[in-house]
């Protein structure tokens, strides 16, 4: 089992597409989390930049004290989409390159192969979350120094909760991508349908949930809603609040979200394994 | 027949018989859909230490059979054992090296790193990589990206991957596909060398020349069924001699007296005698002494290709 994990880790580290995705996530997080808000703050705030947000709030959001909510704001939707692509690439590419047969004709059990893949997705996303937090911490400190504000850092517990929540959100989306990759055996289909679900369908369901009771019950069980609610519970502003980000919502409590997302992780891992176990590999 | 029950019964039952069989299948069947019966009650036996040629036209069911033997595809019914174990079990795969259809590797990795991934998966030491690359003469380009490899180098890397475990059983599916004549000769001599090392080799191919040269025994499959199995000599049939002589009736009468009527046949104005080629001088002498003019006498050799075409044509007619 450890061998499969080490093999997957090597494949992931040496794969250029993974570095491109990590670079995109990293860059988007810095640009939308710090650069644009700071430029807007220096320019006095644009009229349409963030409804109701004052320049003072713009600055407050990018100071160290707001590191956790400011970093997590983009996770439920944008970073989640990238995590989904990572998950789909890890599993679906094996079908495109027909490498699954090469792996399985060595001595690996299918369970070990899938545990290796999911383990590597979880590891890579944890590293990415920590790296984004570290980079954002650096920029928030730079802003504090440049603006002559005190650098008040979140407590270690808050930071750990933030990193844990970010990891849970991204890994859930990563596992969704992995399952779609195994189910469709095609990277393009897994990524395409996954993104349509994450970016469009969940948003539409949330939009109609207010007028249709059954959809409201449904949305409480969706990964996107729970991801958005989890980061909202840690202080990230919802879309209808000043500085809010798409995907952040406060439909369920943080505890509810953690339970649902953890259930998703376990369920998706089980589905991925069962799907691979039952497949004929051609 | 239920595959799992059959396997259990098999493993618990004739262990002694299994000892000299590297691979054995009984009524192995794979049905993909109502219209597609890829493998149909296939009975195959590969003895330990032999080089076995698995022949069949494209779509005959060879690759599906190999995939079942490696646990990649589930059998619909029937049973199979590979090195005494159920197909796909880690204990079975531990002793099996395989390349099924075209080699498949990670395009962004070098040949060496591709093998590094595989040794990690298989739980092997990295020290296995160098000897495997050396056997297929790929050390020089081992650190180049897989995408830069020629078809022949890809095939050789596929064989290197199959050799990582130093397997007792090597399963190679069309290993010379897409190779130029030089590459074919190279792979052929490599397989011959591997087969001479106390290793069992199952070679699936439709390159009949190479099979005839390399293999101890062959099995011919058509429409998913085994239609003939035996040594190359057995399949090619007994030796024969063709005689063109005048008058034909006198020649036939003399030949029948010499060999018996059952071993003499007239076809296209010639005699076909079932006897060894070394009898040709004696036949010539006897016919001439009997007043028959002999204009041609030569050994008749059926190649494996002749036999294969004959068998698969019959198989096709049976299948209709």
Residue A19 contacts B, CB cutoff 8 Å: no
Asked whether the predicted pLDDT for residue B317 surpasses 80, the reply is no
pLDDT of residue A56: 83
Q: What are phi and psi of B159, to 5 degrees?
A: -70, -40
Contact residues, chain A, for B67 at CB < 8 Å = 101, 280-282
Residues 134-193 of A with CB under 8 A from B: none
Among A102, A275, A280, pick the best mutation site for testing chain B contact (most B Cβ within 10 A).
A102
Q: Which two tokens stand for residue B191?
A: 């397989």
Q: How many Å apart are CA A29 and CA A78, to the nearest integer?
A: 9
Domain residue ranges of chain A, discontinuous segments joined by +: 2-278
SS3 breakdown of chain A: % helix, strand, coil, rounded to 5? Answer: 75, 0, 25
**pLDDT, tens only, B216-254:** 999 999 999 999 898 888 877 767 889 999 999 999 999
Q: How many Å apart are CA B311 and CA B320, to the nearest integer?
A: 14
**pLDDT, tens only, B132-176:** 999 888 999 999 999 999 988 999 999 999 999 999 999 999 888
Q: In chain A, what percentage of residues exceed pLDDT 90?
A: 72
pLDDT of residue B34: 79
Q: Which two tokens stand for residue B289?
A: 């002494």
When the pLDDT of each residue in chain A is averaged and rounded to a whole number, the result is 91
Asked whether the predicted pLDDT for residue A64 surpasses 90, the reply is yes
Q: How many Å apart are CA A201 and CA A207, to the nearest integer?
A: 10
User: Which residue from A minimizes the CA distance to B99?
Assistant: A102
The residue that leads in pLDDT, B149 or A241, is: B149
The highest-confidence range among B67-71, B206-210, B299-303, by mean pLDDT, is B67-71
- Residue A113's nearest CA partner among A127, A128, A123, A101 is A101
Q: How much is the average pLDDT of A56-69?
A: 91
Question: CA separation (Å) from B317 to B218, B229, B311, B312?
Answer: 21, 19, 10, 8
pLDDT of residue B12: 30
By the 8 A CB rule, do B63 and B100 touch? yes
Residue B108 contacts A, CB cutoff 8 Å: yes
**pLDDT, tens only, A247-259:** 888 889 999 999 9
**pLDDT, tens only, B195-205:** 887 899 999 98
pLDDT of residue A1: 67
Contacts of B229 (CB under 8 A, 6+ apart): B44, B45, B217, B218, B219, B220
Contact residues, chain A, for B94 at CB < 8 Å = 107
pLDDT of residue B133: 95
In which residue are the tokens 């293999």 written?
B215
- Residue A130's nearest CA partner among A87, A151, A159 is A159
Band of residue B8 on the pLDDT scale cut at 50, 70, 90: very low
Interchain contact, A105 vs B96, CB within 8 Å: yes
- The torsion of the CA quartet A83, A84, A86, A92, rounded to 10 degrees, works out to 170
ipTM of the complex: 0.90
Class of domain B3-95+167-235: alpha beta
pLDDT of residue A155: 95
**pLDDT, tens only, B30-52:** 998 877 889 999 999 999 999 99
Q: Furthest-apart CA pair in chain A: how many Å? A: 63
Q: How much is the average pLDDT of B54-76?
A: 93
Among A6, A98, A106, pick the best mutation site for testing chain B contact (most B Cβ within 10 A).
A106
Asked whether the predicted pLDDT for residue A54 surpasses 80, the reply is no
pLDDT of residue A167: 97
Q: In chain B, what percentage of residues exceed pLDDT 90?
A: 53
pLDDT of residue B318: 57
Among B114, B120, B125, B164, pick the best mutation site for testing chain A contact (most A Cβ within 10 A).
B120
By the 8 A CB rule, do B315 and B223 touch? yes
By the 8 A CB rule, do B139 and B111 touch? no
Encode chain B in three state secondary structure: CCHHHHHHHHHHCCHHHHHCEEEEEEEEEEECCCCCEEEEEEEEEEECCCEEEEECCCCCCHHHHHHHHCCCCCCCEEEEEECCECCCCHHHHCCEEEECCCCCCCCCCEHHHHHHHHHHHHCCCHHHHHHHHHHCCCCCCCCCEHHHCCHHHHHHHHHHHHHCCCCCEEEEECCCCCCCHHHHHHHHHHHHHHHCCCCEEEEEECCHHHHHHHCCEEEEEECCEEEEEEEHHHHHCCCEEEEEEECHHHHHHHHHHHHCHHHEEEECCEEEECCCHHHHHHHHHHHHHCCCEEEEEEEECCCHHHHHHHHHHHHHHHHC
Q: What are phi and psi of B72, to 5 degrees?
A: -80, -30
Contact residues, chain A, for B103 at CB < 8 Å = 102
Question: CA separation (Å) from B50 to A206, A277, B204?
Answer: 66, 33, 14
Interchain contact, A281 vs B73, CB within 8 Å: yes
Asked whether the predicted pLDDT for residue B7 surpasses 70, the reply is no
Half-sphere exposure of B60 (CA within 13 A, CB side): 23
Domain residue ranges of chain B, discontinuous segments joined by +: 3-95+167-235, 238-301
Encode A195-239 in three state secondary structure: HHHHHHHHHHHHHHHCCCHHHHHHHCCCHHHHHHHHHHHCCCCCC
Domain over B238-301 is classified CATH 3.40.50: no
pLDDT of residue A46: 57
pLDDT of residue A42: 86
Residue A270 contacts B, CB cutoff 8 Å: no
Q: Which two tokens stand for residue B174?
A: 């069309």
By the 8 A CB rule, do B223 and B319 touch? yes
User: Does B247 sit behind a cis peptide bond, omega within 30 degrees of 0 on the bond before it?
Assistant: yes
pLDDT of residue B308: 81
Band of residue B124 on the pLDDT scale cut at 50, 70, 90: very high
Band of residue A170 on the pLDDT scale cut at 50, 70, 90: very high
Band of residue B28 on the pLDDT scale cut at 50, 70, 90: very high
The residue that leads in pLDDT, B233 or B82, is: B82
In which residue are the tokens 């079942």 written?
B68
Contacts of A264 (CB under 8 A, 6+ apart): A172, A175, A176, A223, A226
Interchain contact, A105 vs B70, CB within 8 Å: yes
Which residue from A6, A14, A98 is facing B120, i.e. has the nearest CB?
A6
When the pLDDT of each residue in chain B is averaged and rounded to a whole number, the result is 86
Interchain contact, B122 vs A108, CB within 8 Å: yes
Interchain contact, B93 vs A105, CB within 8 Å: yes
Q: Other CB atoms closer than 10 Å to residue A239's CB: what's the count?
A: 18
Which has the minimum average pLDDT: A109-118, B90-99, B104-113? B90-99
């Amino acid at each position: 089992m450890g061998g499969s994990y080490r093999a997957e880790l090597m494949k992931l580290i040496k794969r250029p597409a993974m570095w491109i995705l990590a670079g995109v996530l990293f860059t988007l997080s810095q640009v939308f989390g710090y650069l644009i808000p700071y430029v807007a703050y220096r320019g006095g705030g644009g009229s349409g930049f963030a409804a109701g947000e004052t320049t003072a709030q713009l600055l407050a959001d990018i100071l160290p004290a707001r590191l956790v909510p400011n970093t997590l704001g983009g996770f439920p939707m944008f970073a989640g989409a990238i995590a989904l692509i990572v998950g789909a690439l890890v599993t679906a590419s094996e079908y495109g390159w027909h490498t699954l047969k090469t792996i399985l004709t060595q001595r690996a059990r299918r369970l070990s192969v899938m545990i290796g893949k999911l383990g590597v997705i979880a590891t890579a996303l944890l590293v990415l979350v920590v790296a984004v937090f570290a980079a954002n911490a650096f920029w928030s400190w730079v802003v504090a120094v440049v603006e002559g504000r005190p650098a008040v850092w979140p407590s270690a517990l808050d930071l750990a909760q933030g990193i844990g929540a970010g990891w849970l959100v991204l890994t859930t989306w990563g596992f969704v991508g992995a399952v779609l990759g195994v189910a469709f055996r095609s990277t393009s289909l897994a990524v395409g349908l996954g993104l349509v679900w994450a970016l469009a369908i969940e948003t539409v369901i949330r939009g109609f949930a207010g007028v249709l009771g059954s959809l409201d019950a449904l949305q409480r069980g969706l990964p996107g809603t729970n991801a958005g609610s989890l980061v909202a519970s840690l202080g990230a502003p919802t879309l209808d609040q000043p500085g809010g980000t798409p995907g952040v919502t406060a439909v369920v409590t943080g505890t509810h979200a953690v339970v649902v997302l953890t259930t998703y992780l376990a369920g998706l891992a089980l589905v991925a394994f069962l799907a691979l176990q039952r497949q004929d590999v051609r | 027949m239920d595959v799992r029950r059959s396997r259990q019964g098999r493993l618990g039952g004739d262990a002694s018989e299994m000892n000299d069989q590297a691979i054995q299948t009984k009524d192995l069947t794979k049905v993909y859909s109502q219209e597609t019966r890829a493998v149909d009650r296939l009975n195959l036996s590969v003895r330990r230490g032999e080089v076995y040629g698995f022949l069949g036209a494209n779509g005959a069911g060879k690759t599906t059979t190999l995939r079942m033997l490696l646990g990649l595809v589930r059998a619909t019914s029937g049973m199979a054992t590979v090195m005494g174990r159920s197909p796909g079990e880690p204990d079975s795969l531990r002793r099996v090296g395989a390349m099924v259809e075209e080699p498949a590797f990670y395009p962004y990795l070098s040949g060496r790193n591709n093998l590094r991934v595989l040794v990690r998966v298989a739980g092997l030491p990295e020290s296995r990589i160098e000897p495997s690359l050396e056997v297929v003469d790929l050390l020089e380009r081992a650190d180049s990206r897989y995408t830069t490899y020629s078809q022949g180098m890809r095939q050789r890397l596929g064989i290197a991957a199959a050799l990582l475990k130093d397997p007792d059983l090597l399963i190679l599916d069309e290993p010379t596909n897409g190779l130029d004549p030089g590459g074919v000769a190279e792979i052929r001599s490599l397989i011959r060398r591997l087969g001479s090392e106390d290793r069992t080799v199952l070679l699936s191919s439709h390159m009949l020349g190479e099979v005839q040269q390399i293999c101890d025994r062959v099995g011919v499959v058509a429409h998913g069924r085994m239609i003939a199995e035996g040594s190359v000599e057995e399949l090619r049939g007994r030796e024969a001699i063709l005689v063109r002589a005048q008058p034909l009736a006198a020649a036939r009468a003399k030949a029948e007296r010499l060999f018996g009527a059952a071993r003499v046949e007239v076809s296209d104005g010639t005699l076909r005698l079932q006897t060894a080629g070394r009898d040709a001088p004696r036949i010539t002498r006897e016919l001439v002494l009997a007043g028959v003019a002999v204009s041609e006498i030569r050994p008749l050799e059926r190649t494996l290709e002749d036999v294969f075409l004959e068998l698969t044509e019959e198989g096709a007619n049976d299948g209709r």
